Structure 1
Amino acid sequence: MKKVIVVGSGIGGLTAGALLAKDGAQVTVLEAMTELSGCAGKYRRHPYTFAAGATLGMALEPGGIHERIFRYLNVEVEAQQLDHVMDLHHPHRTISFSKDRQKHVKEMQRAFPGNEEKIEGFYQEVFDLANRIRTLMKPLPVMPPDQLQDVTAVAKVLRPTHLKLVPILLQPLESILRKHGLHDLEEFRHILDGILIDSMQTTSRHASALFSCIALDIYHEGAYYVNGGLYRFGEVLAEVIMSHGGRVKKPRTVTKLTRDGSGWTVEDHRGTIYEADAVVFNGDPRSLEGLLEPHQWEQLPKKIKLMPQKSTWGTYSLYIAIDSSKLEKSFAPFQQISHGPNGEMDEGWHFFVSVSKPEDRLRAPEGYQTVTISTHTNLEYWKTKESYDAYREMIKKRILDAVEQYYPGFQLAIDFIEDGAPRGWENYTLRTNGYVGGFAQTPWHALFGAASHRSGLPGLYLCGDHIFPGGGTIGVTTSGLHAARSIAKKPFI
C-alpha cells in the first residue's frame, strides 16, 4: 500500500488525498490550523460562521471539474445554481450579471448605448473562444508539458477548430478589445477588469486572452450558492479520506521535509515523524526553502526557487453579521462594488461582497446574515506598525461607506464586525507575508511560465493557487488532480 502525506488541507491537497485514498493509498493529511479548506475555509464567532475567503461556488454543473470529482468519489455538496449570478455596482451604473449569455450581452449593450454592435461582436468571439478552449482543456492537460505524456494528452484532443486559438495564445485580452474597437471604452473595460482581478489577479491590459475568455464565460456555465460555504468542499473530501482509512491530523505544522532513500520523511512541530512514498505539498511554495535540505531546494526548478523573490497580492477582508430586520432592502448573495474614481482595482476601491442567504442556518441564526467582503491590497503599504494600523482603518471606512451608498442603513444593521488584514492572513494560511490568490495570469505565466505540479524531486508534488492552472477552487482542484494522477499513474476522471 502506497503511503502519501498531504501537507496542508486546502481544496487542492484534499482533492489529491481523497482520490488517492479511494484508490487504495494510505493517506495522512497534516494541517497546521484547526480548520480545513485553506483560503476557502471558515471560522466561527458564536453564533456566526464566516467564509474566510472564497465564497462563490463554480464547476458544479455537469462536466465541471468539481461535479466530475464529487461524482467519482460518490459525494454531494448541497448547492443552488444561480440564474442571477451577481450585481456589478459601478459609479455610473449597476450591471445585473445573468447566467443566460444573451441576457448578459443585452444588459451590457443597454449600459453602453451606441456600442451595441461592438459589444455583440466582442462577446460572440469570447464565448466562441471559450467553447473551443473547453474542448481542448477537457482532459485537464498539464502545463507546461515537461513529459512526453503531457504532450500526448494534448495532441489527442487537438482538432482543426483549435487553430483559431493560436493567434491569442500569448496575447492579453487587450488584443480582443482592440479588435472590436472597445479598448478605449474605459467604463466597459472597468467592468471586465472587476471580473478578471478576482479570478486572474490582473486586468484586461495584462491578463491572458486565452484564460480571460474562460474567466468571462465561466459564470454562464454555472455559478452556485453553497449552503454553509465552500469549506463544505473540504469537509466532504476529508470525509472521503477518513472513510477509506486515511487520517486528517490538525493542528500539525510541518517543520521539515527530507528525501530519505526512495521515500520521504516528514516532521511536524511536535517532533512526530511520518514516512511516505510520496508527498503532496499544498502550501506556499516559498516556504519550501525552509522545509527542505539546502541541496534539495537547489534541485527544484527555477520557477519555484524564484518565488521568494516575487510578490503577489495580499487581501484585506471584513467579516460582518447583520440584523436582517434593520435593512432597508435585501442583499443579493454576491456582488462586486467598484467605486474608485479612476477604475482602481485594489485598496477598498473594488471589492467582492458575499452574503449568506436568510435561510442558511449553517452561517447565522434566524433573522441574521453573515457578510464577507474582500479587496486586493499591495503589501508594501503594510510594512510598519503605524502604517498597518492606519491603513486598515482607512480601508475599513472606505468599504463600509461604499456599501452604505448602495444599501442605506447597512451600518446600523451591523451586529458584529471584525477585519482580516495581511498579518492575519499570514497567520491563518501560513502564506509568506500574507500573499494569497497566486500569480497574475499573464499570457506567458498562465501557460509556459507556470509552475508545474512536479517539483523536480522524486515523490514530491505541488498543488495550490501558485501552481498551474492558478487560483480559485477550479484551479487548485485541477492541480490536486494532477498530483494524484502522477502518484497513482491513472486519470481518475
Structure 2
Amino acid sequence: MKAKKQYDIIVAGSGMGGMTAAALLANRGLKVLVLEAAHALGGCSSSYYRKGYWFESGATTLIGFDKNHPLRYLEDQTGISIPKKEIRPSMQVRQDNKVVTQFKDMDTWIEEISRVYGQREQQKRFWTLAYDLSEVVWKVSLRNHFFPPVNWKDLVPLITQNNPKDLWILPYALRSVDDVMKDYHLDRPDFRRFVNEQLMITAQSSAKETPFLFGAAALTYTNYSNYYVPGGLINMIHEIRDFILKKGGEVKTKCAVEQINRTAKGYHVHTAESSCQAPVVLSNIPVWNMPYITSGEIKDYFTDESEEYQQAWGAFTMGVVTNDNYPKNLPLHHQLHFRDSEAPKEIDSNSIFVSFSHSKDQQRAEKGKRVLNISMHTQPDFWFIDDQKEYEKRKREVSKYIVRKLDQLLPGFHSGDIIEQFSATPYTWQNWVYRKKGRVGGIPQSMARSLTDWMPAETPFPGLFLCGDTVFPGQGIPGVALSGINASKRITRYLEQS
C-alpha cells in the first residue's frame, strides 16, 4: 500500500457532475483529485472506442449552453470552451405513420405539433406555458445552489435571493403533466403517447407521474440549443480534464474507490493500489453503490436512502455501424414509437432512441460510414440471471427485434448495410460503468415525491458531499452538471467555515 497523499477534495467518479465540480473547485485554487474506476473518463457522459469506431457511452443529446443553463455557467466561470456544433432540427419522432420534427423555434414547433395532432390553440397554450415555466425553472435552479435545504443556513439564500414574481411556478410541483394536458383538453391518445415517450427519455417517467414543474423542462429541451461534439462526448470530458490538470489537479483512471472511511480530520479514500486523504470527499457514485464502499453510520444512511429508490430503469443499448445510405438532411436524433404488443417481454419500452454520428465526423467513422447509438428502457432485474445461455438468448432476441424495427421505421436504414453490431444490457452496464444493477438515467420522477424529498448535495456527515443523477436535480447532462455546481458551492462554504 502506497503512502497517503493529502488533497483538499477527492472526487469519486468522473461523470459530468463530478467533473463539473472538480473544475469549479480547482479554479478556486483547491487541490483536487478525481478517481475513476473505468479506463475512460466521463461515465455515462462519455464515448468509447471499439473496432475502429467511436460510440457514445450513454447520453447522446447535449443541451445546457443557453442563458441560465449549467454548462454555460461552467464555461463562463472557468473559461473552458467545450467543442461543439449546434444541430437543427434537434430530433424527429416517428409514431405510426406520423413524423414530428422537433424545432428549436417555439412558433415553428407549435405549428409542427399542431399539424400532426391538431388542436392548435390548445397546443399553443400548453407549449407556451411549458416553455415559460422551463425558463423560470432554469433561472431559479441556477440561482439556488443550496436547494433542497438541509439546515437553517440554507433557508437564508432561499428567502433573500429569489424574486416573489417567480413563485407562480410552485403550484406546478403539485400538478402532473397529465393534469395540465387535461386543463387544455389535449386528450388525443396519439398525442398522449407522444408526450409519454418524450418524458420517458428525459424524466424517466410518464405524464401521470411527472410533476409539471420538472416535466416542462423535460418536454421543451428540444426548444433550446442542441449540440453535437465532434469525435464524441469524451472530447467534452477531456476538455474539462485538461482544465483540471492545468489548475494543478490530478485525474486518475482505473482507480476504483473501494472504501471511504471517516477520520478525525476528514476522510481516507482507498483504491486497490493506494490510499489518499482529504477533508472533503465528493461522491459522483450512484446512491445504490454507496453502501458497498462505506461503513458504520454512513453505510446505514446510504442503505436506507438506496432502499427508498429501488424502482429505476436500466437500458438495453446497441452500437451499430452501417454504410451511409441515409437521406442527406436526416436529423441526428430519432425516437421510433411502437405499440405495447409489439415489444418483446425482455423490455419495458414503447420506443427506441437512435442517434447518428455526424456524416462529416471522420473521427468517429470514416467517410461513407455512420455510427448509430441505440437505446431502449428495460427492467434491470430481468437481465441478472444465472443461466448464461438464457441471458444470451434474450440479448439476441431483443437485438433482432430492434434491427427489425429500424428496418421498418428509420429512413435509409437497411440491415444489409450493417458492418458492426453489438449490444449491452443492464448487466453489461454494471460491469462497464460500475452502476449497481446497471441502473442508468437516475431516479424516475414521481408525484409522490415532494420538492424537498430529493437527495441533496450535502450529507449529514461533515465533509461528505454528493452529485450525479441520483442527487437533485436528477438526470441528463445539464441536470448532473447542475448537481456538480451545487456541490461545489456547498463544499466552498464548508471549507470556508471549517
TM-score category of the 2 structures, normalised to the smaller one: over 0.9
**2:236 paired with 1:233:** yes
Alpha-carbon distance, 1:281 to partner = 0.7
Alpha-carbon distance, 1:328 to partner = 6.6
Question: What amino acid is the match of 2:476?
Answer: G
Match of 1:395 in 2: 398
Match of 2:422 in 1: 418
What is the number of equivalent residue pairs in this alignment?
485
Alpha-carbon distance, 1:47 to partner = 1.6
- Measured in 2, the distance between the counterparts of 1:169 and 1:328 equals 42
- Measured in 2, the distance between the counterparts of 1:262 and 1:489 equals 17
Match of 1:380 in 2: 381
Alpha-carbon distance, 1:5 to partner = 0.8
Q: Is the 8 A contact 2:65 2:71 kept in 1?
A: yes
Alpha-carbon distance, 1:256 to partner = 1.0
2:280 to 278, 281, 291: 278
Report the more deviating stretch, 222-231 or 10-19. 222-231
Once the two structures are superposed, what CA deviation does each residue of 1:214-243 show, in whole Å capped at 9, x if it has no partner?
A: 112232121112212222222111111111
CA separation of 1:144/1:317 partners in 2, compared to 1, >3 Å: closer, same or farther?
A: same
Once the two structures are superposed, what CA deviation does each residue of 1:72-113 show, in whole Å capped at 9, x if it has no partner?
A: 211212212223111011113110100011111111111123
Match of 1:48 in 2: 53
CA separation of 1:125/1:103 partners in 2, compared to 1, >3 Å: closer, same or farther?
A: same
Alpha-carbon distance, 1:246 to partner = 1.3
- Measured in 1, the distance between the counterparts of 2:340 and 2:314 equals 22
Counterparts of 1:59-70 in structure 2, within 5 Å, are 59-70=64-75
CA separation of 1:21/1:136 partners in 2, compared to 1, >3 Å: closer, same or farther?
A: closer
Counterparts of 1:3-18 in structure 2, within 5 Å, are 3-18=8-23
Counterparts of 1:194-213 in structure 2, within 5 Å, are 194-213=197-216
Match of 1:323 in 2: 323
Counterparts of 1:15-414 in structure 2, within 5 Å, are 15-113=20-118, 115-182=119-186, 184-270=187-273, 272-298=274-300, 300=301, 304-307=305-308, 310-324=310-324, 326-327=325-326, 331-341=330-340, 347=348, 349-384=350-385, 385=387, 386-405=389-408, 406-414=410-418
Alpha-carbon distance, 1:28 to partner = 1.0
CA separation of 1:344/1:172 partners in 2, compared to 1, >3 Å: closer, same or farther?
A: farther
Q: Any unmatched runs of 5+ in structure 2?
A: 1-5
- Measured in 2, the distance between the counterparts of 1:387 and 1:120 equals 49
Q: Is the 8 A contact 1:344 1:350 kept in 2?
A: no
CA separation of 1:164/1:330 partners in 2, compared to 1, >3 Å: closer, same or farther?
A: closer
Once the two structures are superposed, what CA deviation does each residue of 1:406-456 show, in whole Å capped at 9, x if it has no partner?
A: 335521111111111111100111111111111112235362211111121
Q: Is the 8 A contact 1:21 1:27 kept in 2?
A: yes
- Measured in 2, the distance between the counterparts of 1:340 and 1:250 equals 42
CA separation of 1:278/1:266 partners in 2, compared to 1, >3 Å: closer, same or farther?
A: same
Normalised by the length of structure 1, the TM-score is: 0.93
Question: What amino acid is the match of 2:173?
Answer: L
- Measured in 2, the distance between the counterparts of 1:202 and 1:137 equals 21
Normalised by the length of structure 2, the TM-score is: 0.92
- Measured in 2, the distance between the counterparts of 1:454 and 1:481 equals 12
CA separation of 1:446/1:474 partners in 2, compared to 1, >3 Å: closer, same or farther?
A: farther
CA separation of 1:117/1:442 partners in 2, compared to 1, >3 Å: closer, same or farther?
A: same
Alpha-carbon distance, 1:349 to partner = 3.4
- Measured in 2, the distance between the counterparts of 1:456 and 1:463 equals 15
Alpha-carbon distance, 1:310 to partner = 1.1
Alpha-carbon distance, 1:311 to partner = 2.8
CA separation of 1:342/1:447 partners in 2, compared to 1, >3 Å: closer, same or farther?
A: farther
Q: Any unmatched runs of 5+ in structure 1?
A: none
Once the two structures are superposed, what CA deviation does each residue of 1:315-360 show, in whole Å capped at 9, x if it has no partner?
A: 0100011121x44766421111112257989645312111011111
% identical aligned pairs: 25
Question: What amino acid is the match of 2:317?
Answer: S
Alignment RMSD = 2.3
- Measured in 2, the distance between the counterparts of 1:147 and 1:343 equals 50
Alpha-carbon distance, 1:390 to partner = 2.6
Q: Is the 8 A contact 1:328 1:407 kept in 2?
A: yes
Secondary structure in structure 2 of the residue aligned to 1:39: coil
Q: Is the 8 A contact 1:318 1:374 kept in 2?
A: yes
Q: Is the 8 A contact 2:383 2:425 kept in 1?
A: no
Report the more deviating stretch, 41-50 or 57-66. 57-66
CA separation of 1:231/1:444 partners in 2, compared to 1, >3 Å: closer, same or farther?
A: farther
- Measured in 1, the distance between the counterparts of 2:419 and 2:163 equals 56
CA separation of 1:217/1:152 partners in 2, compared to 1, >3 Å: closer, same or farther?
A: farther
CA separation of 1:76/1:166 partners in 2, compared to 1, >3 Å: closer, same or farther?
A: closer
Report the more deviating stretch, 59-68 or 384-393. 384-393
Secondary structure in structure 2 of the residue aligned to 1:165: helix
Secondary structure in structure 1 of the residue aligned to 2:220: helix
Match of 1:441 in 2: 445
**2:486 paired with 1:482:** yes
CA separation of 1:292/1:189 partners in 2, compared to 1, >3 Å: closer, same or farther?
A: same
Q: Is the 8 A contact 1:297 1:305 kept in 2?
A: no
Question: What amino acid is the match of 1:382?
Answer: W
Question: What amino acid is the match of 2:125?
Answer: G
Secondary structure in structure 1 of the residue aligned to 2:363: coil
Question: What amino acid is the match of 2:446?
Answer: T
